[in-house]
Amino acid sequence: MYEPLLLDLLRRSGVRATFFVIGRNAQAYPYFVQDMVAGGHEVGNHTYHHVRLPPLPLADAMGEMRLASETIRALTGQPVRYFRPPGGEYTPETLHAAESLGLTTVFWTDDPGDFTNPGDATLESRLKRQLRPGGIVLLHDNAPEMLDVLRGFLRVAREEDVRLTTVGGLPK
């Protein structure tokens, strides 16, 4: 429900981001995914049902990745390049499976814990402390508070003179 506001905030800030979307949600809200692409954002794969992969038989884990990629590709017209496993949980087998589907598995260097709702001041100081060039910051978009979190983060990045971009936009 907050996605349009989030995308609007990014647009007004001139910032592009990578969204790791759940295939089932992309299917349910295709216009949000299309708005992401229209805004110059990157859309990554976060499985179809948001399931933890390690306990699954490998064929099922691959099915989750493949179905999410197919769903996103159908909506965006672009191949999906990046994958983030739910909970950050993986095995060597899931990494190889992602690779075989043309996906690079992407983790993060900074998890400020926005989903635990520690309060804006705490989040902002965590973001500020860990912000650095080449870092990947993990944020969630499923609670209204995230708009305040993102607003604070954009301000911190501006103050620290760190330019924000997509995963694909990171220097190699």
For the bound state, the minimum distance from the C-beta of residue 88 to Zn ion, rounded and expressed in Å, comes to 8
Q: What is the DSSP string of 4-35?
A: HHHHHHHHHHT---EEEE-HHHHHH-HHHHHH
Residues 22-51, interacting with Zn ion (CB under 5 A): none
For the bound state, the minimum distance from the C-beta of residue 123 to Zn ion, rounded and expressed in Å, comes to 18
For the bound state, the minimum distance from the C-beta of residue 46 to Zn ion, rounded and expressed in Å, comes to 6
Q: Give the residue with the Cβ less far from Zn ion, 86 or 118.
A: 86
In angstroms, the CA 16 to CA 172 distance is 17
Q: Give the residue with the Cβ less far from Zn ion, 3 or 13.
A: 3
Q: Give the residue with the Cβ less far from Zn ion, 83 or 153.
A: 83
Residue with tokens 């809200």: 29
Residue with tokens 């500020």: 128
**Beta-strand pair 82-83/18-21:** unpaired
In angstroms, the CA 160 to CA 70 distance is 38
Q: Give the residue with the Cβ less far from Zn ion, 48 or 156.
A: 48
For the bound state, the minimum distance from the C-beta of residue 12 to Zn ion, rounded and expressed in Å, comes to 26
Computed on alpha carbons and rounded to an integer, the radius of gyration of the chain in Å comes to 16
Residues 73-112, interacting with Zn ion (CB under 5 A): 86
For the bound state, the minimum distance from the C-beta of residue 62 to Zn ion, rounded and expressed in Å, comes to 18
Q: Give the residue with the Cβ less far from Zn ion, 13 or 27.
A: 27
Number of chain residues interacting with Zn ion (CB under 5 A): 1
In angstroms, the CA 132 to CA 79 distance is 29
User: Measured at CB, which residue is nearest to Zn ion?
Assistant: 86
In angstroms, the CA 12 to CA 9 distance is 5
Closest C-alpha among 68, 101, 78, 59 to residue 166: 78
* Residues near Zn ion, by CB under 5 A: 86
